[in-house]
Structure 1
Amino acid sequence: FGIPADVAMKVVGVGFIVGVIQDSCETALNSSTDVLFTAAADYRKRRKEGKKVEIKQTA
């Protein structure tokens, strides 16, 4: 394409950094939804068992 090697390597470097950031964001989102799903399942289980469930609300 006629792109100088130094420019091409900078583009590859930026792409690598973007990939690492994207992967970190995906991992964080996946982990947070896992926590939410687990909490919802535990809440339902306790309700089915007839246990009183208290949810503390903060400001």
Structure 2
Amino acid sequence: MEMIVLSSEEEQELNRLETTIEKNLVSFYEIGTALLQRIQANTQGNNPLTQGGHMERPSCL
């Protein structure tokens, strides 16, 4: 496999992008976990916004 040599600026940019990607992955994981918890609470009827585990239709619809 061929080695690719990066300039220091390219290396810094690559590190910055890697950090951004890692932060985004953590954010997506946290959002997914929060959504899963809300869905589980919803289906168990523990959510004050629902009755019997089902979302109520907004009155404006």
- TM bucket, shorter chain: 0.5 to 0.7
Q: Name the Cα RMSD after superposition.
A: 1.5
Q: Any stretches of 5+ residues in structure 1 without a counterpart? A: 1-10, 55-59
Map Cα deviations across residues 22-50 of structure 1 (whole Å, 9 max, x no partner). Answer: 00000011110110010000000011111
TM-score by length of 2: 0.65
Q: Quick one: structure 1 residues 29 and 40, their matched pair in 2 at CA, closer, same or farther if it must change by over 3 Å?
A: same
Instruction: Number of aligned residue pairs: give it.
Output: 44
TM-score by length of 1: 0.67
Q: Any stretches of 5+ residues in structure 2 without a counterpart? A: 1-5, 50-61
Matched, 1:41 2:48: no
Letter in structure 2 aligned against 1:50: G
Higher helix share: 1
Match of 2:45 in 1: 50
Given that 1:46 and 1:52 are in contact with CA atoms closer than 8 Å, whether structure 2 keeps it comes out as yes
State the structure with bigger RCO (CA 8 A, min sep 6), 1 or 2.
2
